[in-house]
């Protein structure tokens, strides 16, 4: 596990240090920064997830954006129970470095391959209805960290000078999830989302 995190951290540092070397000179007529909001779903442990994300990227060359992203997700089923019959649910969030190779298919239409690597926190928490019966230290059954890697395909259509609509889908994998409450590949699976991007 430590080796996975060490490799991920070293990769991020090297990429960030190399960014100025590949950066093109800014063009006054071109928006280089982009903020993107995303909402969608995926598969986790064979069940559906509801997911929300955000990203900040900068165009480094005409074919490459680099930035950071954050994503939170929760399983749509809240039917898991402990040995005493009390229900709990899974929730998780992660932050990642985003690399986005891209190509323009036509004016205002873009195809990209978003790649992400980062780390996150996974929490198994009792449902809120048990809050009065549990101390705050007892509300969480288990909590752990993991490394995450994601690759996908993104289509983007400009809606005007500053806004774009994007549709994305891909596959996410993580380091083994070490808990008695889930399989080791609990968070690995396909995902898809719809997003809006603002360029500035």
Calculated CA dihedral for residues 55, 58, 64, 67, nearest 10 degrees: -40
In a domain, 27, yes or no: no
Q: Are 155 and 166 in contact (CB under 8 A)?
A: yes
In a domain, 32, yes or no: no
CATH number at residue 169: 2.40.160.20
Residue 169: which domain range?
Answer: 2-21+38-199
Residue 196: what pLDDT? 97
Residue 28: what pLDDT? 53
In a domain, 79, yes or no: yes
In a domain, 67, yes or no: yes
The pTM of the full predicted model, rounded to 2 decimals, is: 0.81
Q: What is the tally of structural domains in the chain?
A: 1
In a domain, 33, yes or no: no
Report which of 43, 39, 36, 54 is spatially closest to residue 90, judged by C-alpha positions. Answer: 43
Q: Are 191 and 52 in contact (CB under 8 A)?
A: no
What kind and span of H or E run contains 123? strand 115-126
Report which of 158, 130, 148 is spatially closest to residue 185, judged by C-alpha positions. Answer: 148
Residue 70: what pLDDT? 98
Residue 131: what pLDDT? 66
Residue 7: what pLDDT? 53
In a domain, 87, yes or no: yes
Residue 20: what pLDDT? 52
Residue 148: what pLDDT? 98
Per-residue pLDDT of the chain (200 residues; tens, 9 = 90+): 555 555 555 555 555 555 554 444 445 567 899 999 999 999 887 788 999 999 999 999 999 999 999 999 998 876 678 877 788 888 999 999 999 999 999 999 999 999 999 999 999 988 777 767 777 677 888 999 999 999 999 999 999 889 999 999 999 999 999 998 888 999 999 999 999 999 99
Q: Taking CA 162 as the corner, what is the angle to CA 16 and CA 64, rounded to the nearest 5 degrees?
A: 30
Residue 157: what pLDDT? 97
In a domain, 78, yes or no: yes
Alpha carbons 151 and 153: distance in angstroms, whole number: 7
């Amino acid at each position: 596990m430590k080796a996975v995190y060490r490799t991920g951290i070293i990769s991020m540092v090297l990429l960030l240090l190399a960014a100025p070397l590949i950066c093109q000179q800014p063009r006054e007529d071109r928006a280089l920064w982009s903020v993107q909001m995303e909402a969608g779903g995926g598969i986790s442990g064979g069940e559906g997830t509801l997911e929300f994300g955000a990203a900040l990227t900068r165009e480094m060359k005409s074919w490459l954006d680099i930035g950071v992203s954050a994503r939170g997700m929760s399983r749509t089923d809240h039917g898991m129970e402990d040995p005493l019959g009390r229900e709990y649910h899974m929730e998780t969030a992660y932050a990642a470095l985003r690399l986005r190779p891209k190509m323009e298919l036509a004016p205002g239409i873009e195809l990209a391959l978003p790649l992400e690597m980062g780390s996150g926190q996974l929490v198994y928490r009792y449902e809120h209805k048990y809050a009065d019966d549990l101390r705050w230290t007892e509300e969480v059954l288990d909590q752990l960290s993991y490394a995450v890697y994601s690759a996908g395909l993104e289509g983007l259509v400009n809606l005007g000078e500053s806004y774009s609509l994007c549709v994305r889908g891909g596959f996410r994998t993580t380091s083994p999830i070490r808990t008695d409450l889930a399989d080791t590949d609990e968070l690995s699976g396909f995902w898809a989302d719809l997003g809006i991007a603002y360029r500035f």
